[in-house]
Amino acid sequence: MLAADETRKIPSQIFDRVGDIFQCSHTRHRSERAHELHRLFPAIDVDPNVLYVDNGTILTSAGAAAGFDLCLHLVRRDLGAEAAAAVARASVMPLERSRGQAQFIIHEPPTNDGTSIGRLMIWIEQNLCEDLSLPALARKAAMSVRTLSRNFRSQAGMTPAEWIARARVRSAQRLLETTRLDVEQVAAHCGFGSASVLRQHFAAVVGTSPVTYRRAFSRPSAGPTR
Q: Is 96 part of any domain?
A: no
Q: Is 101 part of any domain?
A: no
Q: Is 116 part of any domain?
A: yes
Average pLDDT over residues 111-120: 78
Q: Is 181 part of any domain?
A: yes
Among 5-14, 57-66, 186-195, 209-218, which stretch is predicted with the lowest mean pLDDT?
5-14
- Tell me, yes or no, whether 121 and 217 share the same domain: yes
Q: What is the CATH number of the domain that holds 154?
A: 1.10.10.60
Q: Is 163 part of any domain?
A: yes
- Tell me, yes or no, whether 54 and 123 share the same domain: no
- Tell me, yes or no, whether 147 and 177 share the same domain: yes
- Tell me, yes or no, whether 44 and 149 share the same domain: no
Is residue 102 within 8 Å of residue 208, measured between CB atoms?
Answer: yes
| Residue span of the structural domain in which 75 resides | 2-90
Q: Is the pLDDT of residue 31 over 60?
A: no
- Tell me, yes or no, whether 147 and 182 share the same domain: yes
Q: Is the pLDDT of residue 27 over 70?
A: no
- Tell me, yes or no, whether 114 and 219 share the same domain: yes
- Own/partner pairs, 202-208, CB within 8 angstroms, 24+ separation: 202/169, 202/172, 204/165, 205/105, 205/107, 205/165, 205/166, 205/169, 206/102, 206/103, 206/104, 206/105, 206/169, 206/173, 207/102, 207/103, 207/104, 207/105, 208/102, 208/103, 208/104
Q: Residue 144: which pLDDT band, with cuts at 50, 70 and 90?
A: very high
As for how many domains the chain has, the answer is: 2
Q: What is the pLDDT of residues 33-61, one digit of tens each?
A: 666 666 777 777 766 666 777 777 778 87
pLDDT the model gives residue 201: 95
- Tell me, yes or no, whether 30 and 70 share the same domain: yes
